[in-house]
Amino acid sequence: MDNSAGGAIAQPDTYGRPHLAAVDSRVHELLLRQERQERTTLKLIASENFASSAVLEATGSIFTNKYAEGYPGARYYAGNEIVDELETLAIERLKALFGSEHANVQPYSGSPANQAVYRALLSPRDKVMGLPLPEGGHLTHGWSVNFSGSDYQRVPYRLHEKTQQIDYDHLRETAKRERPKLIWVGGTAYPRIFDYAAMAEIASEVNSYLVADIAHICGLVVAGVHPNPVSHCDVVTSTSHKSIRGPRGGFILSRNEDRYQPLHHPKSKHNLAKRIDRAVFPLLQGGPHMNTIAALAVALQEAANSSFRVYGQQIVHNAKALAQALLERGYELVTGGTDNHMLILDLRDRSLSGKAYAERLSRAGIIANFNMVPGDRRHPALTSGIRLGTPAVTSMGMRETEMVQIAAFIDSVCRQPDDQEVHASVRRDVADFCTAFDVPGIPDR
């Protein structure tokens, strides 16, 4: 078709689907390099995983094109009948998997979901209890450099000095003294099971909202290998990737009614579910990413399959096997082991920082992240720990035997941190090791 200026109007298919290599060779090259990296390295970052081809297909679908401000049945744009069905499908699947009364699938990720909870439940300067970042918590649970620590009064609870697990007696004492309005339960580097029942009892004693952040353990909850917090908590937040193997997004689960509405929100005309929804949109976000919601619906369908329960069980089996293999090689682990998908190497007695070890492991094809540990005296940009996770390698089909070999790879690098020849040798061995396994979502080329 010619336009009035005499030139041809470029149609989307001319510069888009499916010819990325022809349209943008640089991005295509980076894509191929990333695929190669994921095929030939050990992805041990606890927050990463491999989404399936079906999830990736939905993520890259034409639902990207649809603007859908509002909620199903109450949109601000026309032509949303199909995406109304789509969002409702994702909501109903999510509620069914977790047994929740209400679900919101529009948060762009986990931190925006948590921010919406703050705005729905609290007023500025209200007190918030959470696990400090160095002890395994998350930035949005009241850490000083985050909005949650600057806009609200943060009240940390601690780990037991000897066990390095949550000290519920100390938590109760602190809650009774400080009377927080919200208590977080969850974290990014806590390798043990959370006692939601104990936390709910404490929260009730001080009329506090209890909110669980299950971003890391979401898939484990669905698989039945970690307790479900929904019956104990007022609100539950999560990302939609990590152990649930979905797209990069977030969601919020909640009760419909607010048990503390007469006490904390006596003037509000809205119940808890409505306040959550209003905090997500229009307070904090505009139009939802419908392609992400489509991919979430697909991931939830996959997670409802019995094979996902087997997958979740294997994640934990692998984490325990990796922990045991490292313990047998003389390494110290935070809490002495793991109950979930992650373990944290405690390297405080080493001359090198966690960051230095992570860099050396990366050069050897072992992708992990440096992490703070309880009692860490190093700067957060250096740290004294390494966090390891098993969701991604489990998605590749690895089992306990492979965890023993992975521990040997890690040990070779960490015992000889300055021997580049050893690192290069391990890198070759890791690449050969990985090629025996399929990587979900990456096509054969």
Q: Nearest CA to 361 among 427, 421, 432, 435?
A: 427
Rounded Cα gap, residues 161 and 435, in angstroms: 43
169 among known catalytic residues = no
> Do residues 154 and 128 touch, judged by C-beta distance below 8 A?
yes
Positive or negative, the Cα torsion across 84, 89, 95, 101?
positive
- Candidate list 213, 277, 376, 402, residue with the active-site label: 213
Q: Which of 59, 174, 188, 239 is catalytic?
A: 239
- Cα 78 to Cα 69, 75, 81, 243, 292: the distances in Å are 10, 7, 8, 36, 20
Q: What is the pTM of this model?
A: 0.94
- Encode pLDDT of 95-142 as tens digits: 999 999 999 999 999 999 999 999 999 999 999 999 998 888 888 888
Structure token digits, residue 20 = 């990325």
Rg of the Cα atoms in the chain: 23
Task: Write down the pLDDT at residue 203.
Answer: 98
Scan for tokens 């047994």, then name that residue: 99
Span 47-93, pLDDT tens digits: 999 999 999 999 999 999 999 999 999 999 999 999 999 999 999 99
CA distances from 401 to 49, 314, 428 (A): 20, 12, 19
**For this structure, is 39 an active site residue?**
no
2 compared with 415, residue with greater pLDDT: 415
Q: Is 360 a catalytic residue?
A: no
Q: What's the distance, CA 407 to chain centroid? A: 24
Catalytic residue among 75, 154, 181, 242: 242
Q: Which domains does the chain have, with CATH numbers?
A: 62-303 (3.40.640.10), 314-434 (3.90.1150.10)
Among candidate residues 248, 274, 278, 309, the one labeled active-site is 248
Q: Is 162 a catalytic residue?
A: no
- Known catalytic membership, residue 242: yes
DSSP state of 371: E
Residue among 48, 69, 201, 429 flagged as catalytic = 69
Selected catalytic residue, list 67, 108, 168, 260 = 67
The more confident residue out of 444 and 405 is 405
pLDDT value at 143 more than 90: no
Is 67 noted as a catalytic residue in this protein?
Answer: yes
